[in-house]
Amino acid sequence: MANYAFLGPPGVGKGTLAAEFCNARGMQHVSTGDLLRAEIQAGSELGCRVQEFVSSGGLVPDDIILDLMENFLTGDSDTGYILDGFPRTIEQAERVEAMAETIGFRLVAAILLEASDQIVVDRLTGRRICRGCKATYHLSFGPPQQAGLCDKCSGELYQRGDDQEETVRRRLEVYRNQTAPLIDFYDNLNRIIRIDASSDKATNFAALSEKVP
Ligand code: AMP
């Protein structure tokens, strides 16, 4: 089955659009950020090793991420994967290419979601997440009916520590230095699909659905 990676700066909407895309096409959504946060919340050994990197807005070392993903992905998934937030460095991307030989895992394309820094900073700093069902809200663009509470399950809404403005700026810098080089990497392989993700969710999703076969 087809596998895709979603690429783009923090806050561009990778998680939201990947979840919707997977729903629409019956694919499996794999978010490395969600996997790492679940480990941190569970207080596992892996969670303890990665906590510092995640909360500072830096990247978790490649060997830890690659161990996690190499155990997780298989080449013969019936549904195909949407990789959300992975690969994030050239080293990770090269190891994903090598998985074609080892486990038969192939990326059809990297889907690059694009929006300006100002847009992504506004989206991230206003983002709130339900502790219960993980639904996301935005204080300005999609607030809950009752402040601080989830519309779906009445769970408490919280702000991710790394969504505070200073850490968001650091995550953007990390993106520019370490992840943006992947754009040329996939472009050179003729496997990049560019999507303008600067509008509202419905418009961005329509653009995505139209451009991805
Ligand atoms: P995200 O939810 O995708 O914004 O990821 C949150 C944080 O998890 C990032 O700021 C990194 O610290 C870490 N992380 C997620 N995916 C990766 C990855 N592929 N490589 C390294 N660190 C990652």
Average pLDDT of the residues of the chain? 95
Counting ligand 1 atoms within 8 A of each CB, the residue from 59, 65, 68, 169 with the most, and so the one to mutate, is 59
> Distance between CA 212 and CA 31 in Å, rounded?
19
What does CATH list as the number for 4-115+174-211? 3.40.50.300
pLDDT of residue 156 exceeding 90: yes
For residue 23, what pLDDT is reported?
95
What pLDDT, in 10s, does the model give residues 104-120?
999 999 999 999 999 99
Instruction: Evaluate if residue 25 carries a pLDDT over 80.
Output: yes
Establish whether residue 185 lines the binding site of ligand 1, counting it when its CB lies within 6 angstroms of any ligand atom: no
Q: Where are the domains of the chain?
A: 4-115+174-211
Outline where DSSP puts E strands in the chain: 4-7, 28-31, 81-84, 109-114, 127-130, 136-138, 157-158, 192-196
pLDDT for 180 equals 97
With residue 54 as reference, give the H or E element that holds it. Answer: helix 45-56
Predicted confidence (pLDDT) at residue 71 exceeds the cutoff of 90: no
Listed in sequence order, the residues at least 6 apart from 163 whose beta carbon sits closer than 8 Å to its beta carbon are 124, 125, 127
Checking if the pLDDT of 1 tops 90, the result is no
What value does the mean pLDDT take over residues 115-132?
A: 94
β strands within 61-188, DSSP E: 81-84, 109-114, 127-130, 136-138, 157-158
pLDDT band at 213 (very low <50, low <70, confident <90, very high): confident
Residues designated as active site: 14, 88, 127, 160, 171
Tell the residue nearest (CA) to atom 2 of ligand 1: 33
- Range list of β-strands (E), 8-155: 28-31, 81-84, 109-114, 127-130, 136-138
Report how far residue 129's alpha carbon sits from residue 136's, in angstroms, rounded to the nearest whole number.
5
Regarding the beta carbon of 57 and ligand 1, being less than 6 Å apart is answered yes
> For residues 142 and 13, is the Cβ–Cβ distance under 8 A?
no
The ligand 1 atom at the shortest distance from the C-alpha of residue 54 is 12
Q: Which of 5, 7, 4, 12 is nearest to 121 (CA)?
A: 12
Could you tell me how many residues make up the chain? 213
**Strand pairing category for 127-130 and 136-138:** antiparallel
Mutate to test the pocket of ligand 1, among 88, 95, 124 (most ligand atoms within 8 A of CB): 88
Ligand 1: centre distance to CA 213 (Å):
27
Q: How many helices (H) and strands (E) does the chain have?
A: 9, 8
Is 90 exceeded by the pLDDT of residue 195?
yes
pLDDT at 175: 97
User: Does 60 score more than 90 pLDDT?
Assistant: yes
Average pLDDT over residues 58-74: 94
Give yes or no for residue 33 CB within 6 A of ligand 1. yes
